[in-house]
Amino acid sequence: MAKSRYKNAKDKRDGGAFFTVPAAVLNGAAYLGCGSHARMLLFDLLAQYRGNNNGDLCAAFSLMKRRGWKSTHTLIAAKRELLDAGLIMETRMGARPNKASLYALTWHALDECGGKLDISAQGFQRGAYKLKDPLPPMVKIATLNAVAASRTE
């Protein structure tokens, strides 16, 4: 039986939590089309993810200030960019005086989060970041052929 190359992996890295981002996300048009502030915010939100709290991630300036954010305008612009790219989704709309907006990463399934979310699992669009990717060439050809065939009928 072959020896697993991951057997001693824990001994080869620093302790504590870690997270993975699928290559499909990092190589996708949604991520590649984002600016540096949006990418940094994505990783700051990802640092809050514990495996059971997707949907309960907060990007409030009071939290992000501790992570190095200096401008509310820059933070809001980065948040809007991630929402438009489909990399995150708003799960609860904030309200004054003290209810923060919450977000979910779209490459993970939505977690329940104790019933404090405005959306349900059915309303969550998992994989929304993929919508920014162009169609593969074979799909484009098949689509064009189908359109041409429908025109001749």
List Cβ neighbours of 151 (8 Å cut-off, separation of 6 or more).
Answer: none
Domain residue limits at 134: 18-152
Q: Is residue 7 in some structural domain?
A: no
Q: Is residue 4 in some structural domain?
A: no
Nearest CA to 59 out of 106, 112, 104 is that of 104
- pTM value is 0.77
Q: Is residue 86 in some structural domain?
A: yes
Write the pLDDT tens digit of every residue in 108-118. 988 887 777 78
CATH of the domain at 148: 1.10.10.10
Query: Is the pLDDT higher at 147 or at 42?
Result: 42
Write the pLDDT tens digit of every residue in 94-139. 888 888 899 999 999 888 877 777 888 778 888 788 887 776 665 5
| pLDDT value of position 118 | 80
Q: Is residue 2 in some structural domain?
A: no
Q: Is residue 54 in some structural domain?
A: yes
Q: Is residue 11 in some structural domain?
A: no
Assign residue 90 a region: left if phi > 0, alpha if psi is -120 to 50, beta otherwise? Answer: beta
Q: Is residue 126 in some structural domain?
A: yes
Residue 104: beta bridge partners? Answer: 89
Give the CA radius of gyration of the chain: 20
Count of domains forming the chain: 1
- Is the distance from CB of 81 to CB of 35 less than 8 angstroms? yes
Q: Are strands 88-92 and 57-58 parallel, antiparallel or unpaired?
A: unpaired
Write the pLDDT tens digit of every residue in 30-80. 999 999 999 999 999 999 998 888 889 999 999 999 999 999 999 999 999
Q: Is residue 145 in some structural domain?
A: yes
